[in-house]
Structure 1
């Protein structure tokens, strides 16, 4: 990921709300699966690490990214921003654009 792409994703993440919280149980397999599903649906997500979680947010971010095949955009305090490009979405967009061009 280039610095320009990272900067763009950071700006998009500013308005996002956290859709997952990591608490005392830390990173469970169920949470990992849920994060993977959310990344497939949204591409860009924000995760909060609660105060009662003893793990380091940067380590958690790297672990989640490794397990889900995503990239860490940024970790600020106890907020983690993750990105995973959805290839199927990109292909669908391209097909839709081609169809629009053919209609014209």
Structure 2
């Protein structure tokens, strides 16, 4: 038992150079990560962010065009469906006239 306490007492306490700073708040974490990167890491990160921003700038108008095209197709399909349904209803509700044989009337 004494050996354990003796070793603990002999171990020096970490100095200020060896201690780590606590993690910052969530909003300041990217700033700390940016500061921890080296020069090459910052260049690569900036290039990746610029590429991502350019990709978003290109993708948004394309997605808007696709959305408008799909909406137009849906409107056309709804109009065709409505016209077909109206034709069916008109045909079903049209008065029917037929000459019945005399045997049916008796």
TM-score, normalised relative to structure 1: 0.27
> Higher relative contact order at CA 8 Å, sep ≥6: structure 1 or structure 2?
1
**Richer in helix (by share):** 2
TM-score, normalised relative to structure 2: 0.27
Structure showing greater radius of gyration is 2
**Richer in strand (by share):** 1
